Structure 1
Amino acid sequence: MSFLVVVTYDLHQADSEDYQCVKECLKKIGLLDTTANILGNEENKLPNTTAAGQFDGVDIKTVKEDMRSKALACMKKCGVKGKLFITVSDDWTWGTNKF
């Protein structure tokens, strides 16, 4: 089954290098800052501290725990502190708009 994973985060007292480290690490685990990997069409940039990806898994709870663990490992690797919010869905719709 395929699941949409969205992660958003706040970093405390972080500089641009910290943010870049987190983005690169999340990208390596399949959480990107654009929608192209999800929709397969036009690339839309997500808000600055949001990343998303589509993942296959057995059930929603397992995917959430696996991706949360990987995202937290990225934060630890980059040496940052902050907050992380993760949501996982198997029945989703998607939309982006510039304003």
Structure 2
Amino acid sequence: MRALVTGGAGFIGGHLVERLVKQDWDVMVFDSFERASPETLKTLPSEAELRRIDIRDLKSMKRYVDDVDVIFHLAALTDVVESEVKKDEYWNVNVMGTE
């Protein structure tokens, strides 16, 4: 099976990528990598195909989604305090990026 994991460099996404690769899945990761922790990046399996793609970039996303069997959509901005200051950015990523 071929999986796409959006937010695959995040805490939960990174663990999912690890598990899928261990189960012999072919895994592609979409992430902006802007907020990925160095610890998570170190643990991402080398077998995973990493792509620096912002989920708001529909054109880039469309190039790859037809080649996967399943999409795990975990990309999101999650800082509650920051979300009060950057409401538009959080709306665009967390809501519009899911459309």
Judge same fold: TM > 0.5, yes or no: no
The structure in which a higher percent of residues are strand is: 1
- Which one has more relative contact order, counting CA pairs under 8 Å at least 6 apart? 1
The structure in which a higher percent of residues are helix is: 2
TM-score by length of 2: 0.30
TM-score by length of 1: 0.30
